[in-house]
Structure 1
Amino acid sequence: MTLFGYAFIVLGFLLLLLTPALIYIIKNYPRQVVRPIWQDQVTTEFATTLGIALAALAFIFSILLIVFGCKLLQISF
């Protein structure tokens, strides 16, 4: 269980560190990153908003990973 606790904490912090990079890529390169995936069915603004929402979910998920890892290690806040 200890190994899983450390693994969840490390994965949570990695995801937490990568979330701003994801937001930066989505906001600054919408045509190159989002356009080929969505084609012309969805506007760039909607795709950017969706990307920001997904980045926010990644942030929340990273916090949950860290908390779950601390629970496995029996560390209280």
Structure 2
Amino acid sequence: MNAEFDIAETLDVKGASCPMPVIKTKQAVDGLAAGEVLEVVATDSGSVSDIAGWAEGTPDVELLDQAEDGDVFTHYVRKTE
């Protein structure tokens, strides 16, 4: 989808609603090494603000980008530490 980032892992949370996309994203990020990027694919429109808010409040996480394609929302999150 987005060639700018070297994706280490893709997390598919399509069909899951709040708070599961954020919970699953946190669990996946915890398993990444510093510098790795997680691609999160969701269908919950609330995931846009939820993941952005979570990333903003989490010191070792950086939200790189978010994209919308119809009813699919893709988030790119980097573990920084």
- Which structure has the bigger radius of gyration? 1
**Which interval holds the TM-score relative to the shorter structure?**
under 0.3
TM-score by length of 2: 0.27
TM-score by length of 1: 0.28
Hey, which of these two has a bigger chunk of helix by percent? 1
